[in-house]
Amino acid sequence: MAGESETLGLHAAKLGKRFSSKGGDVQALEEVDLEVKQGGFMSIIGPSGCGKSTLLRAFSDLVEPSTGEISVNGKMPAEARAAREFGVVFQSPNLLPWRTVLRNVTLPLQVMGVDRPTRNQTALEMLELVGLGSFARHHPWQLSGGMQQRVAIARALSTNPSVLLMDEPFGALDEITRDRLNLELMRIWGQLSATILFITHSITEAVFLSSQIAVMSSRPGRITELIDVNLPYPRNTETRDMPEFYELVIEVRRALVEASAVAS
Ligand SMILES: Nc1ncnc2c1ncn2[C@@H]1O[C@H](COP(=O)(O)OP(=O)(O)OP(=O)(O)O)[C@@H](O)[C@H]1O
Ligand SMILES: [Mg+2]
């Protein structure tokens, strides 16, 4: 259908969000325009409190925008949520300690009413994909932080979403584990060709993963710069040694310093 591919992916136009509370109002987002094309990998980087999570939560139907428009694969977030168009991964894995790894991953499918053999099979496939097939019968507390985060990714992928919304998923991990999971995420992204919106505070992580980086200013959050990352895919350990990688790191750092300097 003509034009359909243009509506796929993520779109925000003049998006604003104002939180009102007893302590006063906070303008978290103002006039945010953003487009992540279908199959694209967009990272958002910006100073703490600039509204990155608010933006991601607006896409995932957890925050109601005050102004502007927002869509996921051409649908309003609530519709997209009902249609299981997206999966969400947060900084903390939020696994249920009394359920096994397998039964944490099957949870969204159980909620959807998928029968037990099918949901077990799908969950096992997702656990294999994140390299945890042999830990299906373990409980979350028997896994390391990085492994728990991989379970959370498997859970988000279990409903086969075409969009993945990730809010600092590797923020609590040590650098070596983070590098390893970045490689894994690249592999998974290559296999699933999903659209990814990824929030991070790490410049090197953003450059390594993304096809584009959006830099946000201090509150109220606005996109101040869009940086194309024209490093070849598939990205691997050699990518981090390329001179172009360092040039991009320097460029993103400069953009971030400028964005942080904008008065809030
Ligand atoms: N539910 C809420 N109610 C009131 N204010 C909120 C709410 N959620 C976020 N805010 C405010 O909106 C602003 C942006 O918060 P947000 O969590 O989006 O920032 P962030 O860029 O994700 O920060 P960080 O990098 O520290 O995670 C902050 O000032 C925050 O206090
Ligand atoms: Mg945040």
The tens place of each residue's pLDDT in the chain, 264 residues long, gives 445 566 899 999 999 999 998 889 999 999 999 999 999 999 999 999 999 999 999 999 999 999 999 999 999 999 999 999 999 999 899 999 999 999 999 999 999 999 999 999 999 999 998 889 999 999 999 999 999 999 999 999 999 899 999 999 999 888 888 898 899 899 889 888 899 999 999 999 999 999 999 999 988 889 999 999 999 998 998 999 999 999 999 999 999 999 988 654
**Cα 53 to averaged position of ligand 2 atoms, centre (Å):** 4
Task: Read off the pTM.
Answer: 0.94
In whole angstroms, give the CA distance from residue 126 to residue 114: 16
In whole angstroms, give the CA distance from residue 13 to residue 230: 25
Show the tokens assigned to 63. 């925050």
User: Does residue 53's CB lie within 6 angstroms of at least one atom of ligand 1?
Assistant: yes
At residue 226, φ and ψ (nearest 5 deg) are -120, 125
Supply the residue whose CA is at minimum distance from atom 3 of ligand 1. 19
**Cα 60 to averaged position of ligand 1 atoms, centre (Å):** 15
User: Does residue 183's CB lie within 6 angstroms of at least one atom of ligand 1?
Assistant: no
> DSSP 3-state assignment of 111?
helix
> DSSP 3-state assignment of 195?
strand
Q: Which atom of ligand 1 is nearest to the CA of 168?
A: 27
**Cα 239 to averaged position of ligand 1 atoms, centre (Å):** 33
User: Does residue 222's CB lie within 6 angstroms of at least one atom of ligand 1?
Assistant: no
At residue 252, φ and ψ (nearest 5 deg) are -65, -40
Query: Do the beta carbons of residue 49 and residue 36 sit within 8 Å?
Result: no
